[in-house]
Amino acid sequence: MKSSAPASITFRLRRLITASLCLCAPVVIAGCQQPHGDALDRLLIGEVMMHSEFAANLRTLAMPGGRLTGTPNAELAGQFVADKLRAYGLQNVHFEPFEMSCWTVRETRVTLLTDPPRVLEGAVALARTIATPPEGVTAELTDLGEGTEEQFAAGAAELPGRFVLTRDTHQHRGDRLRWARERGAVGLVVMSDPNHEPVIGNGHRTPRPEPGVVIRHDEDLLERLKNGEHPRLNIYLDTDNWDCRPNNVVAELPGRGPLAREIVILCAHLDSWHLAEGAMDNGSGSAVILETARALARAGEQPRRTIRFIWFMGEEQMLEGSEAYVRAHADELDRVVAVVNVDMPGSPRRFGVFGHHEIEPFLRSLSANLAGYELDAEIGAWSGDGSDHAPFMKQGVCTLSLGGELGPGVKGYHTAGDTYDSVDRRGTVQSAAVLAVVVRHLADVPERPTRRLPPAEPDNAK
């Protein structure tokens, strides 16, 4: 997500201290200009800023080896979140299992068969390739540049029996793996930019044998290809593929009165990739909404609408958990007032909405109430279907998010650099405070500020 340029540190510190003083105090301190926000807002913000358990919870969730869906780490993380929710006093804490195809990898080894052979260090396998034979798969490599669909078509004659090399571009790697397979290639090798570590991602939608790997930038290899060589590569992958039944974690603060049937959802994906600790993506979002849940429960005010918190699994493997959830809860979607998805929140900057312009005035007034946080007055008009808001969005439900500043740690996204230390904890905890206020107002505003739109046409391209 795009974020605004950071203000000077002194200025930001001063604003933050002012914000904490003004908003933490249950009564407005003389001289502080904090209009609009009522006592409950100040209580929620104070609870997060003074008694946050965000960093401690993130420390637990940021596990070496990450929380890849279906693995023991992911299960432990789900149990940890559920236990915390019960301890915090949330209601209806439960698991909702769903079916998907899980995958882990024990070893990824890519060897350039020169004399002597050279192992390409740091290579990363794309998800859902099944294990290669013990001797790996050996083939010549052919270079298709950026790897556009046109380049695949133009180079088709060269592909049978070979690996395809492409650069790492925005084109989905799964598409390229599919085009390679359809033209008889035996696998895909994606080369990273010179200044970036290999980025993990999805390969096959269902388990398949053609390996897909991402390698570091390699001048020697490029030189050989430029000189017309077709260097031979051996790719060895030791993986597990199995049908699994992971759990989404769900909890509620039940509403009161006639609006209790309406639902405000605050969600984040709890799963991660396995290359590091899955701290920023999305241990940070998971710990933020856990902190929001804690503060709202602690405040003890029963909202008008029901607030539902969801930690999804399977997000990294193409949103499996949220898609399953939306299918299972199809008959409730009319009653979902809004879905607030939290994926790598960072330090809060601005609200963004996916299509539902009718909610903008509501969000603008909240941004003004939260003036101490320097949120942009402008509401982002966002698009994209790369996180768990998407299955709801496609069903016409109002989906929104809070965009933020991630700091230098963003370089670790989907790489071996996504560790606890890469998360700006002091900035990110503020997102929990802002979200507590947002969710509370969405749940309490007398007039529903959103309406459900007709579902989008099914996307046949996928």
d(CA 330, CA 352): 24
Q: Which stretch binds Zn ion (CB under 5 A): 46-54, 82-90, 217-225, 275-283?
A: 275-283
Within the chain, what is the greatest distance between any pair of CA atoms? Answer: 77
Q: How many residues bind Zn ion (CB under 5 A)?
A: 3
Strand partners, 45: none
Instruction: Answer yes or no whether residue 292 interacts with Zn ion by CB under 5 A.
Output: no
d(CA 200, CA 281): 12
Instruction: Answer yes or no whether residue 418 interacts with Zn ion by CB under 5 A.
Output: no
Q: Which stretch binds Zn ion (CB under 5 A): 107-115, 142-150, 287-295, 339-347?
A: 339-347
**Burial of residue 242, with CB atoms counted within 10 A of its CB: 0-12 exposed, 13-18 middle, 19 or more buried:** exposed
Contact 292, 434 (CB under 8 A): no
* Closest distance of CB 126 from Zn ion, Å: 17
d(CA 318, CA 314): 7
Instruction: Answer yes or no whether residue 322 interacts with Zn ion by CB under 5 A.
Output: no
- Residue placing its CB nearer to Zn ion in the complex, 282 or 395: 282
Contact 241, 105 (CB under 8 A): no
Q: Which stretch binds Zn ion (CB under 5 A): 3-11, 253-261, 317-325, 336-344?
A: 336-344
Q: Which stretch binds Zn ion (CB under 5 A): 61-69, 306-314, 341-349, 406-414?
A: 341-349
Between CA 445 and CA 18, with CA 284 as vertex, the angle to 5 degrees is: 60
Q: Which stretch binds Zn ion (CB under 5 A): 31-39, 40-48, 278-286, 305-313?
A: 278-286
Contact with Zn ion (CB under 5 A) among 41, 53, 281, 388 = 281
Centre a 10 Å sphere on the Cβ of residue 204 and count the other Cβ atoms it contains: 22
- Residue placing its CB nearer to Zn ion in the complex, 142 or 317: 317
Contact 406, 4 (CB under 8 A): no
* Closest distance of CB 76 from Zn ion, Å: 19
Contact with Zn ion (CB under 5 A) among 218, 343, 388, 418 = 343
Contact 418, 278 (CB under 8 A): yes
* Closest distance of CB 201 from Zn ion, Å: 12
* Closest distance of CB 264 from Zn ion, Å: 21
Centre a 10 Å sphere on the Cβ of residue 83 and count the other Cβ atoms it contains: 11
Give the interface with Zn ion as residue ranges (CB under 5 A): 281-282, 343
